[in-house]
Structure 1
């Protein structure tokens, strides 16, 4: 038996950083939603008790550093599984781009192993709790769709899907590690409230209110460190897109557009400005 899982990318509609915690992480309030860009995760049983990973991207490690490997190892330990697994990752989500590719792969492995080894009693809530041990975005990726994430990202509350729209994604040819961005962030005395406005807009299904309230506290660091990301944001704003923001710790910039014709014009214009440009739909 072979199990296949789709691992969708995510974008942040908001990211408020509240404070630094004693454990070194930061408390955040953020809204995330999935988009129609996904890796394909294939799980093959092994006769020996081992974990192997192969990814078709040279920038993704094929060993225990890979989050998919970590997910399989944790799953086997937690449920005392002595069977082996071979994981193949067909990568479509850019690496270190703020789109949650590694986290989504890990979540897909957790969901897939539950199916492969027929552990029907294991809930998604349990998988999400396990995912929090692997990475802050993994609990959201276990569920997908649209959600409010709090704590360091591990507490998930489901939200209504955003209004139907197109997403223009543009990524400069750089990778950004979240671990390099958070330590450089200067916290404001008054925490941001982007998330509160976005949640209200989702509940009222108001596209323009959602775009007006979008914001990401990490932009101030990433766009300063990587001016090419700032230039992409400015270029995207020239197309009069109502919602333009960086996802996660970046460097991917995205714009939300209601109508395909306008999204396509922005996509075509950005392709002459930036190598990695994509046009997808919101799924969440």
Structure 2
């Protein structure tokens, strides 16, 4: 009889339903982004950002490229456009503009700075911007949730479950600037000139993050609200992760130094001038 025990057991097992396969864990976005931080690699950005205050409502569209390195973004270019539903104070929407950043140096060109440019120049070189932790990032996007820092991603996603969606996963939640500062004191400490305090520390960013099958961010939606009622919604899409990208400064012959500009001005920061129209050199 013993010789029939194994065949009988196998026959019985064949009639039972198979156990469900274990669900495949979602790739870690922090590790996926970390693997992309290589010299001369980059990512494309398409973004629409809306800022609403008690008196104004503006929408800005960005089409950008960000060059990466092991330390994060090191250079960028951005086509910037006023996409507001209503006309500006001048009666017309702003013409498309452009910014370029290489290291901590930022360049501007086009209608927004045209009255500062001599006739033979295309770009104005702004004075070195040491107030923002990463001018290359600030040039390319309005997002304050720094997805290019694995530590920030790790803190943001802590305790959050991935929901399977077509092509990847979706995460969502909120995080305060106090938590972001703990994750990246160098970045957010400089953004707030030290640790965020009071209302700034408690300000929460509501977010949704979509990732692809490899765990890389493909879309990020954020909303920030101030006590005054003002808020900003930013919807950013990322593509072309890992493409070869080298962004260089505009040709010296096309650039005028800020101190040599044609007319006096007050704007002197990557965030002060909505800029415009010529392309920096990029290598694909």
TM-score between the two structures when normalised by the length of structure 1: 0.24
Which one has the bigger helix percentage? 1
Q: State the TM-score, normalized to the length of structure 2.
A: 0.24
